[in-house]
Amino acid sequence: NKQVILNHCVRGSPKESDMEIRTARKKLKLPGGSSGAILVKNLYLSCEPYTYVTNGMSKMEGKIEGVNLESFNPGSPIVGYGVAEVLDSSHPNFKKGDLVWGITTWEEYSIITSTEGLFKIQHTDVPLSYYTGILGMPGMTAYAGFFEVCSPKKGERVFISAACGAVGQLVGQFAKLFGCYVVGSAGSKEKVDLLKNKLGFDEAFNYKEEAHLNAALERYFPDGIDIYFDNVGGKMLDAVLLNMTVHSRIAACGMISQYNLEHPEGIHNLLCLLTKRIRMEGFLVFDYYHLYPKFLEMIIPQIKEGKITYVEDIAEGLENGPSALIRLFSGRNIGKQLVAVTPG
């Protein structure tokens, strides 16, 4: 059973050498009796900033209120989201052959003892890898963040950072379908082209090439931003605050620019929250999973009718898991980064 092991707690940006590939010789077997555990074959593993946070790779470990973080265990496989096939089950709700998505471990085969974080896959006429992205946790994050947190109105002006990623590319498409003007920022020309030419954004810019973020935002939003979907925090958030309209909204989805910093950057323009009566709300997708059936009802037809596109960046083979995971923090991933456990 090939595994991706986390060697030690990571300080600063993660490196490939923080993880290693190991082969466990012990044959996996379900505990006897009605333990409720299931044995699965992992098919796809999801790379996300969350994987980094919940595995104790960042200093944020243990600080997410209301979320039961997996306890960090050096020398154990990484814990994260994935798509898997059930091979054996002692749980009444799961049987051999079922396909599931949810929390699993980074190895070829896993025994999952707590099935609480697992969803049974009902729709199999779409790519199964989509359950790590558009039909999984990032999809729900985009849906809940945009529709529940941002309270959008038709015609509003929406800005999204890390717009070409797993979550951002969907927020932009939801906002366009809803009738908003949508601009995204991303870290390369290739991503900017994708946003404008494939994902239907009205405008996009490479934030790494802008000497002054404030000037860039003024260029694309001469009348201000009504909704900011924040995936990065830091300097971008600071510049955005200056450009928000009165009674605008900010969904604080993520702050990837801050996760690896020893000393997070200060935000200077918070006074704008008050003067412009901005509502800034942090949210966690875990509070919205009750909306998953409603989300599927909306998104499955949109995928089948080609109204929504999803860009994936697939690393082939479990041994490429470590390099795939760290791509997120240098922005090398183009679209949703995931790992196909067995090369296709």
Note the residues at the interface with ligand NDP (CB under 6 A).
Answer: 48-50, 138, 141, 162, 165-168, 186-188, 191, 231-232, 253-257, 283-285, 328-329, 331, 333, 337
Query: Minimal distance in Å, beta carbon 90 to ligand NDP?
Result: 31
Bridge-based pairing state of the strands 79-89 and 38-46: antiparallel
Q: Work out how close the CB of 178 gets to ligand NDP at its nearest, in angstroms, rounded to a whole number.
A: 19
Q: Residue 232 or residue 318: which is nearer to ligand NDP going by CB? A: 232
The token pair at 184 is: 């995204």
Cβ 335 vs Cβ 313: under 8 Å: yes
Least separation in angstroms between CB 206 and ligand NDP: 8
Query: Shortest Cβ distance from residue 22 to ligand NDP (Å)?
Result: 26
Q: 157: which residues sit within 8 A by CB, 6+ positions away?
A: 180, 181, 183, 221, 223, 224, 225, 226, 227, 245
Query: Is the CB of 30 or the CB of 60 nearer to ligand NDP?
Result: 60
209 or 319: whose CB is closer to ligand NDP? 209
Q: To the nearest whole angstrom, how small is the minimum distance from the Cβ of residue 215 to ligand NDP?
A: 18
Cα 30 to Cα 12: distance, rounded to the nearest angstrom = 38
**Residue number with CB closer to ligand NDP (177 or 252):** 252
Nearer to ligand NDP, 66 or 92 (CB): 66
Report the C-alpha dihedral over residues 220, 222, 224, 230, rounded to 10 degrees.
20
Least distance in angstroms from the C-beta of 249 to ligand NDP: 15
CA-closest candidate to residue 304, choices 123, 170, 138: 123
Least Å from the CB of residue 276 to ligand NDP: 23
DSSP characters over 231-267: SS-HHHHHHHHHHEEEEEEEEE---TTTTT-SSPPP-
* Cβ 193 to ligand NDP shortest distance, Å: 13
Q: How far is CA 307 from CA 133, 203, 299, 300, 303, in A?
A: 16, 19, 9, 10, 6
State the amino acid at position 94 in one-letter form. F
Residue 325: which of 53, 2, 104, 40 has the closest Cα? 53
| Distance in angstroms (rounded) separating the CA atoms of residues 29 and 290 | 32
The DSSP 8-state label assigned to residue 191 in this structure reads H
What gap in Å lies between CA 255 and CA 197, rounded to an integer?
Answer: 27
